[in-house]
Amino acid sequence: MYFVLYICFMNETFVANWKSQLKKGTLTFVILNVLKDNEYYGYELIEEIKKHTDMEVAEGTLYPILNRLKMDNLVDSKWVEQGTGIPRKYYSLTEVGMKTLAEMNAYWKTLVFDIEKIIK
Amino acid sequence: MKIATIPFEQAASARVYSDYMKRVKREIQSLPQQSQDDIYMEFNSHIFEAIQHRGSTHEIDALLDILEKLGEPHDVLKQLVADKKLEQATRTFNPLHIFKALVLNITNGFSYIIFAVLYLFLFAFLFLIVAKIMHPEQVGLFTQDGHLKLLGRTTNPLQPGMVEILGDWFISLMLFSAVLFYFIITLLLRIKKSINKK
- Residue B132, domain extent: 109-198
Residue B22 lies in a domain: yes
pLDDT higher than 60, residue B64: yes
Give yes or no: residues B137 and B71 share one domain: no
Is A50's Cβ below 8 Å from some Cβ in B? no
CATH code at position A100? 1.10.10.10
C-alpha–C-alpha distance, residues B57 and B62, integer Å: 6
Per-residue pLDDT averaged across B133-149, rounded? 82
| pLDDT class of B2 with cuts at 50, 70, 90 | low
Structural domains in chain B (count): 2
Supply the range of the domain harboring residue A115. 24-119
Distance from C-alpha of B101 to C-alpha of B89, rounded to nearest angstrom: 7
- Give pLDDT, residue A3: 56
A16 domain-assigned? no
In this predicted complex, what is the ipTM? 0.84
pLDDT, residue B176, reads 92
DSSP secondary structure of B107-165: GG-HHHHHHHHHHHHHHHHHHHHHHHHH-TTTEEEEEETTEEEEEEE--SPPPTTEEE-
Residue A13 has pLDDT above 80, yes or no: yes
Is a pLDDT exceeding 60 seen at residue A92?
yes
In chain A, how many domains are there?
A: 1
With a cut of 90, say whether residue B50 has pLDDT above it.
Answer: yes
- Which chain B residue is nearest to residue A82, measuring alpha carbons? B45
Residue B17 lies in a domain: yes
> Looking at the domain assignment, is residue A52 inside a domain?
yes
Q: Is A38 on the interface with B (CB under 8 A)?
A: no
Of the candidates B92, B122, B139, which is a domain's last residue? B92
User: Could you tell me if residue B49 is inside a domain?
Assistant: yes
Q: pLDDT (tens digit, 9 = 90+) per residue, A44-91?
A: 999 999 888 888 788 888 998 999 999 889 999 999 999 988 999 999
Least confident of A96-105, B73-82, B153-162: B153-162
Q: Cα-flanking dihedrals φ and ψ of residue B65, to 5°? A: -65, -45
3-state SS, residue A1? coil
Last residue of a domain, one of B92, B122, B157: B92
Read off the pLDDT of residues B67-80 as tens digits, 9 standing for 90 and up.
Answer: 999 999 998 898 88
Q: What is the chain A residue with the closest CA to B77?
A: A64
The CA–CA distances, whole Å, from A62 to A30, A31, A45, A66, B153 equal 12, 9, 9, 6, 52
Distance between CA B175 and CA B82 in Å, rounded? Answer: 29
Pairing between strand A75-80 and B162-164? unpaired
- State whether residue A84 sits within 8 Å of chain B by CB: yes
Flag whether residue A59 sits within 8 Å of chain B, measured between CB atoms: yes
pLDDT value, residue B131: 87
Question: Last residue of some domain: B63, B92, B121?
Answer: B92
Interface test with B, best of A43, A56, A80 (most B CBs within 10 A): A43
Task: Clarify whether residues B7 and B54 are in a common domain.
Answer: yes
State the average pLDDT over residues B122-135: 87
Q: Is residue B141 located within the same domain as residue B69?
A: no
In a domain, A101, yes or no: yes
Q: Is pLDDT of A1 > 60?
A: no
Contact across the interface for B53 and A68, Cβ inside 8 Å: no
DSSP B4: P
Closest to B50 in 3D by CA, of A67, A41, A77: A41
Residues whose CB is less than 8 angstroms from the CB of residue A35 and which lie 6 or more positions away in sequence, other chains included = A45, A75, A91, A92, A93, A97
Tell whether B103 is covered by a domain: no
